[in-house]
Structure 1
Amino acid sequence: MTTFPPALASLTNLTDLNLRNNQLTALIPELANLRKLHTLWLSENHIDTLPSVLFKIPSLWKLGIEGNPLVSPPLELFEAGHDAVTAYFDQSGPTRALAEVKLVLLGHGQAGKTSLVKQLLGEPFDPHEDQTHGINIRDYFVPTPDHQLQVRLWDFGGQEIMHATHRFFLSRRSLFVVVLDGRQDEDPSYWLGHASTYAPDAPVLVVLNKSDLHPNYQFETKRLREMFPNIRGFIRTSCKQGAEGIAEFCAALRKELLAVPMIRTQWPEAWLEVKAELETTEKPFLTRDEFSHLCHKAKVDHTGQQEALVRFFNDLGIAIHFEDLHLDDTHVLNPEWVTNGVYRILNHPRVIKAHGIVPTDRSTLTNLLETPVHADQKASSAPQFTYPREKHGYLIELMRRFELCFPLDSNNTKILIPNLLPKDEPEFRFDFRGATKFRCQYPEFLPPTVLPRLMVRSYRTIEDSLRWRYGMVLRATTSGARALIRADRNRHRIDIWIEGRQKRDFLAVLREELTAIHGDFPNLAVTESIGCPCRDCHEEAQPHFFKYHKALSFYLKKPDGAFPCDRSEEFVPLRKILEGIDGGDLVQTVDEIRDTVLELKHHKDYGGNEWDKVKDLLSSRVGIPGLFQVDLLKLVEKVFNRKK
């Protein structure tokens, strides 16, 4: 369907309308006739503008618009709430296209990201180019027939410790350039995974830089495109040899930049006034009241519009706003001020030598924050920032709230940065015989922050300082159960072994924390697996593993079924597999759900109302330990061949 059927507008008693997965490009004003419309699904179409009459339908409370190239009203307004959208339509004054976009360059240090930026800007190649420390943000202008497109180039430092900060700044409305340099151990999926998990819909260009040094390097284009569908192209460049491939790169980049929907987003002139004021301020941070004052000066008075505006600034890279933080009164931040401040702490030789232990007294923080880490930064053309003493505590608290560190004592006199811990695992005893075994496998990408963040969340239960960069030993406070947790970056997995009493309860706590961390990555693929409880595997540290969701799905269909173990060839009952990590609560709940579904399915008057009862039952049980991350409704629909 490419056009909205006018006949639908005459169905004045219509309450639910599903137009998902069509080719619609526009809606009609006659939609206002549907005064009783309750839900409207428009997802996965080609609609760029929603008419104001849509938001005047009094009964409309659910609107699905995902997967549309929406430019008006701006998507951020929907996140700010219905009142913000209506205020947008009620305002007077002209609007115009934004014509700005954020471009992020990712890659290892010395891959040549800065040299590539300089080629875009027409600057000469420097064979002795210093590595980027923190981030550098520069403007690049692309002429078009209608206007000049402003591109904010974010050049990230490639040092490994800085990868943990990427989730602060990789926003969804961006274009990514992954820069490789052909080193033998380089894995393109690492950087592509960064882009995909933080901004799943963002387009990506992959550049092999320094191609003169690696003329035989081959892209695995087919495999990478299958793993990361948003890849738009692979390009070989050399900034050294006569700017080889740069023209091709510029052409591909221009094509993708002009296709970014955000550049066509219609901004009210009042919003642009706020943006201009913010860009001219020399202050590295604004309080909430100061930002609100800027908005009021431009007559952007609605709180919802102010919230939408600050989200826009965040996506554009003009400013950084951490929505979930209410630290101090700092509201809007210069992104370079933040990243370079955090960088000075993370990369200071004193902190690295201490394996991530940082005293938080005023003297130490002054030393860390008021002195550039590298001497070459003093002469750099990049902005030089100062960090007043009253903001030192703010930066430390920011690092804590974003789970980069945790306190080492109750008085917060020291913090520990897990990413700087020693790599070697210390000596300790652990009894793998009879331990509960659990695994999180990340098929495409294990974000480097998952284990450090789990350590930050679990720091109170770390046993006798048994912590290292890729693992830790925990002891449950009440039961005394012990957990060994290891991250294997090469195999893209996290393994958990638990020994002692109440093992399942301790595992449930750890799974809940991992699930919360995974939730911060919109496109992260994770497979949970359970260690086989058969006689042979029971004694092994590395048993055969069964996929959790698969076992649960089969149990719904056949509760007396069994899976074969690849090691012992013994058939292990599904009930025993599931009870091994979730106990009887999970099995009892699944049994109840299955019995209810069967009863309703065979009811002589089976219909929509009964199916709603099933959905209500499933919704009421999602909080039971063992059921998180499991879409039981989808499983039930598949098992009983029920279509929505």
Structure 2
Amino acid sequence: MKSEKNRLIALERIADARLNKSFFLDLSSLNLEELPDDISDLNHLIEIDLSYNFLSEMPKSISSLLNLKILNLSNNYISTINFTNGIHYLLKKLDISNNLLYEIPDSLEVLMNCDEIIFKNNPFLNAIPQSLRSYDIWYILEYLNLTKYKETQRHYETKLIFVGRGEVGKTTLIKVLKDNSVTITPGAEETTHGINIDHIDIDVFFPARPPHYNHYFELQDLYQTFTYEEVNEYEIDYDYHFGDNYLARFYETFLEMDEDEKVGFITTTDLGKQYKIKKEIKTNLWDFGGQEIYHSTHQFFLTKRSIYIFVWEPRKDGVEEEFEYWLNIIKLLGQNSPVIVVMNKSEVRHYPIDKKGYNSTFPNIAAFLEVSCIKKSGIRNLKFQISNCIANLPHLGDELPKSWIQIRDKLNKIEKDYINISEFKNLCSNYITDFNNRHLEHISDYLHDVGDIIHFKNSPLLKNILIINPQWATKAVYSLIDTIPIQKKNGVFEYDDMEKYLNLEKYPVETHIQLLELMEKFEICFKAVGSPSIYIIPELLSNEIPNIKIVEKIKESKDIFKFRFTFNFMPKGILSRLICKLFYLLNSENYWKNGVIFKYDSSIALIISDKLDKKLDIYITGQNKRDLYGLIKNELIQIFSIFNMIESKDFYEEIPCNCDVCSIDQEPHYFRNSTLKIFIDKSKNSIDCLKSAISVNISDLLFLYRNSNPNKSIIYNILSALSRLQGLSRSIETSEDSRNSYISDALSQSGIISKDQSRWGISSSGHSIGEPDIIFEETTGKFLTFYEGINLQYLNKTTIISHIEKIINKYDALGVAEKFLGCYCKTANFSNLSNSYYEFLQTFTHESIKFTDVQDITSEFTNYTELKIFKTYYYKSERKISLTHILINLQ
């Protein structure tokens, strides 16, 4: 009965979708074993949800739906998926997780342009190392192809990261670990600036069972297990203590076994528990400078699949704060990587700490140790614990294509800091048969992920360079942060300053623009919109508020919209990252170390970071508060995800009470958003204010906070892309096509669906819109607007008139409400050119085109002089339409 009822529900929903030409069809959770009706005629569908059913294969009629963009087949029993070869599908998201796929379906090859394929919890993943399962489906397929019939090799290499405040002896400890006989002179060690990278080979004893055993291992590689106490007490020499005689009692039996029996013997008896295999592990040592100025930047290099050595020294003050910061940041970014807590300089003094309390809060702490680099005490214990941690790392012993290991080893032997993409292709082609661009992406993704190289394949500027010595890049970044003149200017520097502050032998001028792009990628600096060459490092901003009156005015505004985020632990650099992400909303210099003012359309937002109370307070005024709230919240949520922070566990969004008392109070009571959700789930309509005891309506309280996905005005995305083009103008080809292509790529990476002339044709409505340089679409494919770009070295009225006429009369047959004309200027006197352009627009007349209003709206977006924005209005079919002219100097 129930199955028949569900079948009828499915038929009803299909019929309704067919009748109303719906975009979405929900057939989830109906226990369907097959579709009750053919849906191949529903070409208007954009999204189908078939999750939580009993399907054994993808319904064949789905393969006929060419306009489908989202398909959810998760939580079924699917073992077969069939898309049709030769058909161009528009699918952007496919969820096939939690099914019975024992291999990756061949038909997925036709979905190479699909943005996201979710495939977790399928049987084919059992053959994939845990550390590789987060990669995309094409990466997994490539891995399987390379390992199925070809030679593989197990990967044994890891990273040891030393952290802690400055001058606690991290660098000295590394020296002693590498050479216990080295002479240590107190106070003689130079301060570490940024990050130093070294390596050491460590003998590690792995259990004699998978994945560490070898079918053909030599018997003398077996070693008996000893406890920590036994090793420490008897100082056992493994190599001397274990010889053939010691293991002779089972050698004869073992030798008579065939290979399968040997494997079974190792895995099913106590041999795998009692005995270990010794392997030499290359361990990369990352020594992090401890000065606070580096802390937010260090976060980019704190990675999972590492071991952390948190070094501290006993002092009278600041120990608790030090423990809280480093253990929390490792917990968030290291994702449960083991931590060894090392008290250095134990010969000087002792400081008691709550080991049980720390172990309870941070279960990833492997050991608390005390060492003295001068007396060399405790070093043996530390080595033992490091070896223990390495032996238990889950990613060690991953089976990788031997070609990847060979390529990696070859890169490590190249005595260069970086190579170009052509050199990398040539190197890879020596080790991979039928090498292609997909191979290139997969091997570079892997090497980038494990920290061997830095390669951003989707960046127009960085895709052609592989940084094979990451320390080369980090040294450059920290050199700029350490530069006194930049610090005195509160983080402000110009592109040409890099020639003064960087070693030109190490960092030739041609690499400077790429280093800047790298810093922007890491959100370490941002480029000032409207300035060709000014960059700003937010971490070096002044603590002083530039204009306290504006801050107070915003706070005291009657029409104000408040919310805040509070944290159990507040990582450093959250506000700096937010400034870098929303740099295009800075139309003045109202930003400082702990605060920023953003302007969006007719609204203004003030954000203040309070490190002591661990909170971010946000105040928004103006007519467009909801959209600005959505922009800020979305970017903050992305930043929190970088730190692996979870709402209600690591942070809370809080909104102020709107009762009569709190509405006029500068310090209202704040409700946690998560608490309000619980009340809503329990069908509670109201909640009591803890300040006034007045009951408030939850729906009214949440009304302003419901829009978290704003429809951001396209002009901000265009300005962001143009500003980046302005900074990269020395490296991007000067042709209109090259500049337009860069703008289109930059917009696409920011989430805007944009297509340049090589990637578009007829609009989805079927009407031709001519051939503008870039068009913008909604996710449904609906045409939104377009952008035309021209080179302009002087006031060439003929060129300008020609483009205006094409935009309005040829391209704009549909009467688009807002369009854009970008002028790539290259002039020594931009002020004269932009003034002349503005005067020209004010007097512009051409046949049927007449501008009814011309406005200079530059001040709404920037206070720098090398960018001008003019908005012109005209009427078409009795509708008021705008054309925005953006002039940017690329001199």
TM-score normalised to structure 2 length:
0.55
Counterparts of 1:593-632 in structure 2 under 5 Å?
A: none
Which of 654, 663, 678 is the aligned partner of 1:553? 678
**CA apart distance, 1:274:** 0.8
**Which amino acid is the alignment partner of residue 545 of structure 1?**
Y
Separation in structure 1 between the aligned mates of residue 122 and residue 665 of structure 2, nearest angstrom: 50
**Which amino acid is the alignment partner of residue 526 of structure 1?**
F
CA-based RMSD of the aligned residues comes to 3.2
Which of 583, 588, 595 is the aligned partner of 1:471? 595
Alignment length, in residue pairs? Answer: 527
Which of 76, 85, 88 is the aligned partner of 2:146? 88
| Change over 3 Å in CA distance of 1:306–1:221 after alignment to 2 | farther
Q: Do 2:596 and 2:607's aligned partners in 1 also have CA atoms closer than 8 Å?
A: yes
Counterparts of 1:41-440 in structure 2 under 5 Å?
A: 41=98, 54-55=102-103, 62-64=119-121, 72=129, 75=132, 78-79=135-136, 80-93=138-151, 95-122=152-179, 123-127=182-186, 128-144=188-204, 145-183=277-315, 184-186=317-319, 187=321, 188-219=323-354, 221-222=356-357, 224-240=358-374, 242-299=375-432, 301=435, 303-322=437-456, 325-328=459-462, 329-361=464-496, 364-370=497-503, 386-426=506-546, 427-428=548-549, 429-430=552-553, 431-432=555-556, 434=558, 435-440=560-565
| Change over 3 Å in CA distance of 1:432–1:233 after alignment to 2 | farther
Query: Aligned to 1:279, what secondary structure does the other structure show?
Result: helix
| Change over 3 Å in CA distance of 1:181–1:423 after alignment to 2 | farther
Separation in structure 2 between the aligned mates of residue 140 and residue 423 of structure 1, nearest angstrom: 41
| Change over 3 Å in CA distance of 1:225–1:133 after alignment to 2 | same
**CA apart distance, 1:233:** 2.2
| Structure of greater relative contact order (alpha carbons < 8 Å, 6+ residues apart) | 1
Counterparts of 1:499-578 in structure 2 under 5 Å?
A: 499-523=621-645, 525-558=650-683, 561-578=685-702
Separation in structure 1 between the aligned mates of residue 325 and residue 122 of structure 2, nearest angstrom: 31
**Which amino acid is the alignment partner of residue 613 of structure 2?**
R
**Which amino acid is the alignment partner of residue 530 of structure 2?**
S
Deviations along 1:163-216, one digit per CA (max 9) or x if unpaired, are: 233343223221222222244224212112222222314222222223344412
% identical aligned pairs: 28
Query: Aligned to 2:102, what secondary structure does the other structure show?
Result: helix
| Change over 3 Å in CA distance of 1:575–1:415 after alignment to 2 | same
Query: Aligned to 1:519, what secondary structure does the other structure show?
Result: helix
| Change over 3 Å in CA distance of 1:357–1:58 after alignment to 2 | closer
Query: Aligned to 1:102, what secondary structure does the other structure show?
Result: strand
**CA apart distance, 1:58:** 6.4
Q: Where does the alignment leave 5 or more consecutive residues of structure 1 unmatched?
A: 1-12, 17-32, 44-52, 372-384, 587-619, 621-644
Q: Does 1:484 align with 2:609?
A: no
Separation in structure 2 between the aligned mates of residue 515 and residue 34 of structure 1, nearest angstrom: 34
Separation in structure 2 between the aligned mates of residue 584 and residue 161 of structure 1, nearest angstrom: 33
Separation in structure 2 between the aligned mates of residue 585 and residue 350 of structure 1, nearest angstrom: 41
Deviates further, 203-212 or 99-108: 203-212
| Change over 3 Å in CA distance of 1:507–1:35 after alignment to 2 | closer
**Which amino acid is the alignment partner of residue 143 of structure 1?**
D
Separation in structure 2 between the aligned mates of residue 352 and residue 585 of structure 1, nearest angstrom: 37
**CA apart distance, 1:404:** 1.4
| Change over 3 Å in CA distance of 1:338–1:562 after alignment to 2 | same
Query: Aligned to 1:491, what secondary structure does the other structure show?
Result: coil
Deviates further, 450-459 or 400-409: 400-409
**CA apart distance, 1:318:** 2.7
Separation in structure 2 between the aligned mates of residue 423 and residue 583 of structure 1, nearest angstrom: 33
Q: Do 2:453 and 2:466's aligned partners in 1 also have CA atoms closer than 8 Å?
A: no
Deviates further, 136-145 or 346-355: 136-145
Deviations along 1:504-523, one digit per CA (max 9) or x if unpaired, are: 33222211121122222234
Q: Do 1:76 and 1:311's aligned partners in 2 also have CA atoms closer than 8 Å?
A: no
Deviations along 1:45-73, one digit per CA (max 9) or x if unpaired, are: xxxxxxxx93267699834279x998748
Separation in structure 2 between the aligned mates of residue 464 and residue 56 of structure 1, nearest angstrom: 53
**Which amino acid is the alignment partner of residue 345 of structure 2?**
K
**Which amino acid is the alignment partner of residue 269 of structure 1?**
K
Separation in structure 1 between the aligned mates of residue 104 and residue 692 of structure 2, nearest angstrom: 65
**Which amino acid is the alignment partner of residue 173 of structure 1?**
R
Q: Do 1:73 and 1:266's aligned partners in 2 also have CA atoms closer than 8 Å?
A: no
Deviations along 1:416-457, one digit per CA (max 9) or x if unpaired, are: 1111011123422323364322111121x3221210111122
- Which residue pairs with 1:8 in the alignment? none
Query: Aligned to 1:210, what secondary structure does the other structure show?
Result: coil
